[in-house]
Structure 1
Amino acid sequence: MPLRNSLRQPVRQLSGQTRRKPCRTCNNLDPRGHSSSMYNAESEKTPLASLSLVLDALSLAKTKDPKEGGCRFCGVLVQALDAFFENWRGVRQRVCVDLKEKGSIKVGIDGEEWKRELVEIYAGSASRAPWPTLGTAHHIPTDSGSDDTFNFARRCIQDCLVNPKHVACKLPSKSSTSSPKRLLDVGRVTAPIRLIDTQGKSFEYAALSHCWGTGPTLTAKKSNWQKLTSNIPFDALPPLFQDAIVITRQLGLRYIWIDSLCIIQDSVRDWETESAKMGSIYENSYVTISATNSGDGSIRCLADRRKPVKLNYENTTGKEFSLRARLIQDHHPDVQDGEPARLTGRLTTRAWALQEHVLSTRILHYTATELLFECKTSCRCECKPSRKILPTTPALIPKAIAKQSKRRDTIWDAWHRIVEQYSKRDLTVPNDKLPAISGIAHKIKEATESSYFAGVWEHNIASDLLWSTCLTAMPDAHYFSPETYRAPSFSWASLDTPVSFYSPDEDERETFNSSITPMSSSISVTGLNPLGAVADATIQVRGPTIRAVLCSTQKDGMWEYALLIKGTSAIGISHDCLLVADTVATTSEVTQTTARRAHCGDKPFEFKAAVLCLGVARFDSWASGLVLGFSSQGSGLFERLGTFSAGMEAFQRAEDQEIELA
């Protein structure tokens, strides 16, 4: 456990060294001796220091040149920022500097432009460190297609295959129903690349995870797939596919699965059949090649990386030292919080790619700065190639399933975290919202044997219904409900907004009690994937309900909504999107003014409308639930408008009744 400066041992000095008063800005890039210095107590003899500094970018940019009396160490920071962060001068942002004794220095800038990018400063030679606390960094090849990088990939895969601790990485037993129908045969340079029919047999293959992009790409269609079975000229393939084939061959494999070529894209039946198997296709692959930094098929993943730069540094005697800086990404797992590697790249914004990442057994991430390897047990990268058991994204579901015998909530927590990340990602085809996560849903269904209602699970229905939208940072278009039906209103998949779920701590989890009981459901799927797209879905639940009036008001340009319930003060709600008043027929002879989700083109206005509040769960003396509007789809149906949380006194006059949610 780290120790604060007040508990530290005296700062160690080299023989004959006189310690000068450090710079008040950068502490001479020394992690020791600062009021915020931390010391690793695991090593009692020589505890290593660490220090995090937050500097003002405007002030740092005005640092005098060392030749004019400025701080030599601040000068190192300025050089590094100038080399890699264009336009950083003149911005009012924080510069974050992380120092570790005998380690490299990590420098980053707050702000979207430089999100997750760091400059790493390190000694160029272990025998000539510029100052005692600065360490070296592991070599990263400047070419992602170098022999060193391929050797690193082979070592990672081989270690995963033979390491007895990697129990979770053993491939599941394959079956003809989960195997890919087609593969690309690419293993022999002298033989033609061609599409083969696996005929239900098992093959060892790689799988490509990539962005299609908006440009043209080679795809299999009814008109050309027969030709693809005889010969696909290497030069006819997009550059990214060419690189994927090179990687496949370098790993000693003969086959690769690429969705655009192994699924007949204009055959609805073939697409539905094969896309429903995507989860198992990636899970059963020998390795997944993730083109993390490629936005489309024209951008190679085997490419030159930005080279390190030399920084000028002279000590007080005028002696020059070898000092280097390079651009890296802030990707390392957070062991303390159990967070997996944090990747940056175009692929990480695509919805389909999330389940490819989550379900792969082994995966090679080709990022802008280095190669990163993940499996269901550990994570390694070229800057930290050591073998350690670390949290990974592919391990998320296996760990949750393994722990469910002790605490079943773990698997539902994993589902919520996945949906939260998934809802932030982009889809080219909006109707793919449920199909693109169906592989993960299949794994959850296998483990829990729970019924699945278009993104909501019967065995966790109370928690699953209490999702909330995160609207404040979204463009105006996302404040509206989609025009075309995609999912029932009670499902997070019905909207194009990021969502979040309530995460109770251990004490709160003990007091959480569901107030509803699922009674029946009706779901009509549109294709062959039982967990995919739906044409219609409803669920009937029994729980405490109370009628209320929903009021809308505009404040500082934002629309707010509150519930008026007799005997209580106004209760603010978390609305799903913009809401408007509407008139619906509740019976053949009676109409009702209610509220509904706004569609693009609707103009918001102030209103008061009748709604129904359904209590979904209780936390001690608090109730959380859904705000429901009367549905125009049919008499007796209700549609979700948002969520609320209030004291139990608001539900004193609630009546238990069965209601149907659409």
Structure 2
Amino acid sequence: MGVDLVVDTDEPSIDRDQNDFIHFIHYSQRAESDTDDDHWLEKLAHPDNPVVRVAGVAMSFKAKCGSVLSKVGVSRRKLKVGGDTGKCRACDGMEGFYSWFPEIEVAAAAGCPSCNILMQGIKKYTPDKRALSSSKLTIIHSWNSGCAGRQFVRTKNRSAYLPGAMGVVAGLDRRIDVKNIFTKSKEIPEEALMELNFFGVKDDPASWNHVGLAYHISGDTSSHAAFRWFQDRLDRCIRGHSLCKTPYRSGQLPSRVLDLGSLPGAFPDPDADVRLIESKGFRGRYVCLSYCWGGTIDIRLTKDRYESYTRGIDWAILPQGYRDAIHLTRKLGVRYIWIDSLCITQDDEDDWREQASNMAPIYQGAHVTIAATKATSPSDGYFSTSPPQYQATRLSHRDSHGATSHAYVRRTIPHFFSSTAGTEPNYSLEHSPLLRRGWVFQERLLSPRILHLGTVEMAWECNEVCACECMGETQTYASEPRWAHTKGSHARNLAAAKDESDVQPDWRSTVENYTRTLLTFDKDVFPAISGVVKNMQRYRTDRYLAGVWEASVLEDLAWQAANNLVPRPKTWLAPTWSWASVTSPVHYLNYRTMLSDEYIRKAEPQTQRTVLLEASVTPAGSDPTAEVSYGELVLLGPLIEACLQWPAKAEEEQQGYGAVHGTTLIYFISDYDLSAPGPGNVPVGSAVYFLFLCREPELKNPDRASAKPRSFSLVLRRVDEGEQGSSSSQHQLGSKVIEELGGGTYERIGIYVNKPESNSRKSYVEENGVECVVKLI
């Protein structure tokens, strides 16, 4: 029985309102205020201050000299302790430190047991041994690093008998290079060398309360030990997790599955051939496989192979990855497995579309989904042996009185449980190529439970917990900020929704994370997430419109392209108002729309300056959640006309543009490279239009309600201006008929984010715009 991780917040009794993204909003907005002057001491201590840099160079050089002199016996080895704490100044008794490695060496030589253990670990696992002699090598404490999803949560209840490894990051601080004294910090690349986990185990805890418990890993994901770990996780989930019970079909098989044998639970030959069957509505347990194709797969279902595959598929021709998944399924005693390449007719477009539209029931009905998380193709094989740097070593120190101290150490095992993980080396998708795939995003959200076969260890995700071999189980979803979109948070948010508005923020979080993934074919942008849409339709009754929803359309339209230095796609993918019309990841800057009604005030409908009058989307096939061939929105709201002037200097992946309205310069972010040749080109001097969209909602908390909400306006260009300019049509808004005079048709080209600078809460566009009816395509 593993030790479950119990997460506490920073305070014994903390208001949940202070443990959410709203806390970040409050202080980030204060930081952006022009009226808040920095204290002169804060300015003096700024890391870009050359005086601070020179002091840092001197201190690191002093530490290096002290280490060298100590090693050769010239300098007396004396342990420096804090006057108030009596603890070693270099490591603070493992409680928190940011030290140069030479300081750790000097303290270790002077008898500090903590520094001795840290020094041993750093020397053993540092990949570049030359760094050990550098005065720029820094050692930074990172508590509880390496634990799945824990980077958002801390606790003051620390004990060697409680779960939680201590993380230590080693890196080279280039800011203290003499040549970088006058260089801004953001222009100096970080150089993290590695991250280590120091920990104890249940029967052998470490000697410090700040070094908690973890687990030894199996070392081989094909081993009996790893399978027992998997079986235990599966059994716990089936027995006790209400959120993991599927609402779909209750055991009904997909239309086609692979039959692994006639004796469920007793497969005498693990390498026996398999065959394709049509389930005809039969019921039974089945496993889904989630994996990377890695290009064209030779063994796939086609029209001419269909009949032969129903008679049997020779085991010898299956790629190693398929064999690994089938072995694991047979070991579970499950008779059927669903693998898309062998259960969907790959050269039949109609069959492909039909099966693609059924992804929600297929994955939600699975007993478990096996995810080949570490593999780039089925030929790679899905099992792995852990690299030696991830196997733990027991380090010990004996002092002059014979007392011993010890801890285990290993390189921090890569994790992926939180999609918004920090920059630490252990939180990376580098070791999880599967999770970059767009199709896999919905497979992961829809499956009630997933076993991840990683490069180092097995990991587990279900709708209630996540777990890994090295750290055990953790339940952190309730404590994570709402913008931290994980499988568990998605399921929890949907299940906890009291009305339809409660699920609206989760969709925007879903879009942000989905657009970070990759698709082989851009045209799959809607089909690859249609299963998530169908699942969400169980919780909301409004129409789904090519990536946005009718009831929350204004907030859903307030997306911004993360990389607008690429041209608009040559092939039409979606209406320009949809995030699917660009190939860049997108994000929502209207942070407050990520929050539930628990934190924000609902805007009264009559206070909304912009309203949706009409919406129409034409699907390309029979599935309205899949590919579309056309879409339009008709909005009524304040509109101003401006003249596009020049592109501002590009910063990283962002290109800003200026537009002049009267004597006012408006700075906006484009959706794509407006200067790129092609149909999306918008020359300097062109007329562009700003349509007020929405404001961030007010906050309920009175202490934060004074923070001014930002507003968002769509940036548009008019298309077919000569033809559309003479048109006239009418739209009904309640009892009022609004006539569109010279309204025309527009395409979206960017977004304008405005924070009021005066006491007025209205944006520039809202104050100066003329109410117009605008059709967006």
- Shift of the alpha carbon at 1:538? 1.5
Query: 1:446 corresponds to which residue?
Result: 538
Per the alignment, do residues 466 and 262 of structure 1 end up closer, same or farther by CA in structure 2, a change over 3 Å counting? same
What does residue 39 of structure 1 align with?
none
Amino acid at match of 1:26: C
Give the superposition deviation at 1:106: 1.9
Q: Give the distance between the partners of 1:289 and 1:77, measured in 2 at CA.
A: 38
Deviation of 1:156 after TM superposition, in Å, equals 1.7
Q: Give, in angstroms, the shift of residue 649 of structure 1.
A: 4.8
Matched, 1:107 2:168: yes
2: CA distance, partners of 1:383 / 1:139: 6
CA distance in 1, matches of 2:192, 2:530: 30
Match of 1:543 among 615, 637, 640: 637
Instruction: Give the structure with the larger strand fraction.
Output: 1
Supply the distance in 2 between the matched residues of 1:169 and 1:626 (Cα, whole angstroms).
40
Structure 2 unaligned spans of 5+:
1-8, 13-78, 144-157, 173-188, 262-266, 479-484, 697-707, 725-743, 755-761
Closer/same/farther in 2, CA of residues 273 and 333 from structure 1, 3 Å limit: closer
After superposition, residues 351-500 of structure 1 pair within 5 angstroms as 351-386=438-473, 390=477, 393-405=486-498, 408-471=500-563, 479-500=566-587
Letter of the aligned partner of 2:613 in structure 1? M
Distance of aligned partners of 1:371 and 1:61 in 2 relative to their CA distance in 1, 3 Å threshold = farther
2:413 match: 329
Summarize the Cα distance change of 1:104–1:611 in structure 2 as closer, same or farther, 3 Å threshold: closer
Q: 1:284 aligns with which of 352, 355, 365?
A: 365
Choose between structure 1 and 2: higher helix proportion: 2
Partner AA of 1:401 in structure 2: L
What is the Cα deviation at residue 82 of structure 1? 5.1
Q: Aligned to 1:141, which of 194, 210, 218?
A: 218
Q: 1:618 to 1:432 in 2, by over 3 A?
A: same
Is this contact kept in 2: 1:355–1:440, CA < 8 A? yes
Q: Please give the TM-score of this superposition, normalised by the length of structure 1.
A: 0.79
The answer to whether the Cα contact below 8 Å between 2:655 and 2:669 also exists between their aligned partners in 1 is no
* 1:164-243 equivalences in 2 (<5 Å): 166-174=241-249, 180-187=254-261, 188-190=267-269, 191-214=272-295, 216-243=297-324
1:533: Cα distance to partner?
Answer: 1.2
Question: Which sits farther off after the overlay, 354-363 or 630-639?
Answer: 630-639
Cα shift at 1:294: 1.3
Matched, 1:648 2:763: yes
Once the 2 structures are TM-superposed, how far is the Cα of residue 247 of structure 1 from its aligned partner?
1.2
Instruction: Map Cα deviations across residues 572-619 of structure 1 (whole Å, 9 max, x no partner).
Output: 112112213xxxxxxxxxxxxxxxxx35799997x2221222111145
Q: Any idea what SS the aligned residue of 1:579 has? A: coil
C-alpha contact 1:377 1:389 (8 A) present in aligned 2: no
Task: Measure how far apart 1:131 and its partner are.
Answer: 5.8
Match of 1:565 in 2: 661
**1:573–1:642 CA contact under 8 A, matched in 2:** yes
Output the CA distance in 1 between the equivalents of 2:191 and 2:443: 27
- Residue by residue, what CA displacement relative to the aligned partner does 1:358-393 show, whole Å, maximum 9, x if unpaired? 111111112223222222222233234358585593
Cα deviation for residue 109 of structure 1 reads 5.0
- In 2, distance between residues paired with 1:76 and 1:428? 48
Alignment match, 1:157: 234
Query: Which SS does the other structure have where 2:686 is aligned?
Result: strand
Asked if 1 retains the 8 angstrom alpha-carbon contact of 2:668 and 2:752, the reply is: yes
TM-fit CA distance, 1:276: 1.1
Match of 1:531 in 2: 625
Count of aligned residue pairs for this structure pair: 592
Do 1:574 and 1:642's aligned partners in 2 also have CA atoms closer than 8 Å? Answer: yes
Partners of 2:165 and 2:750 in 1: CA distance: 48
**Residue in structure 2 matched with residue 60 of structure 1 by the alignment:** 101
- Once superposed, what is the RMSD of the aligned Cα atoms? 3.7
Q: CA deviation at 1:425?
A: 0.9
User: For 2:303 and 2:206, how far apart are their aligned partners in 1?
Assistant: 63
Structure 1 pair 229/96, CA: closer, same or farther in 2 (3 Å)?
A: farther
Amino acid across the alignment from 2:363: Y
SS across alignment from 1:304: coil
Matches within 5 A, 1:595-634: 598-599=676-677, 607-619=684-696, 623-632=711-720
- Rounded to whole Å, the distance in 2 between the matches of 1:610 and 1:74 is 65
Q: Which amino acid aligns with 1:496?
A: T
> Can you give the 5+ residue segments of structure 1 that lack an aligned partner in the other structure?
5-17, 32-50, 581-597
Q: Structure 1 residues 645 and 128 mapped into 2: Cα distance closer, same or farther (>3 Å)?
A: closer
What are the superposed Cα offsets for residues 241-271 of structure 1, whole Å, 9 maximum, x if unpaired?
1111111112110111111111111110111
**Residue 284 of structure 2 aligns to which amino acid in structure 1?**
F
Structure 1 residues 555 and 382: alpha-carbon distance in aligned structure 2, compared to 1, 3 A threshold:
closer
1:657 aligns with 2:772: yes
Amino acid at match of 1:546: I
Q: CA deviation at 1:95?
A: 4.5
Q: Distance in 1 between matches of 2:502 and 2:569?
A: 32
Indicate how the Cα distance of structure 1 residues 85 and 62 shifts in structure 2: closer, same or farther if over 3 A, else same: same
Identity, in percent, stands at 27
Q: Which residue of 1 aligns with 2:4?
A: none
Structure 1 stretch displaced more, 443-452 or 248-257: 443-452
Counterpart among 554, 560, 577 of residue 672 in structure 2: 577
3-state SS of paired residue (1:292) = coil
Secondary structure of 1:578's aligned partner = coil
Higher relative contact order (CA 8 A, sep 6+): 2
Q: What is the TM-score normalised by the length of structure 2?
A: 0.68
Are the counterparts in 2 of residues 76 and 311 from structure 1 also a CA contact under 8 Å? no
Contact residue 291 and residue 434 of structure 2 kept, 8 A: yes
Aligned equivalent of 1:637: 745
For residues 209 and 579 of structure 2, the distance between their equivalents in structure 1, rounded to whole angstroms, comes to 54
Whether 2:266 is the aligned partner of 1:266: answer no
Letter in 2 for 1:60: F
* Contact 1:488-1:537 at 8 Å conserved across structures: yes
Does residue 1:80 correspond to 2:141, yes or no? no
TM-aligned CA deviation for residue 628 of structure 1: 0.4
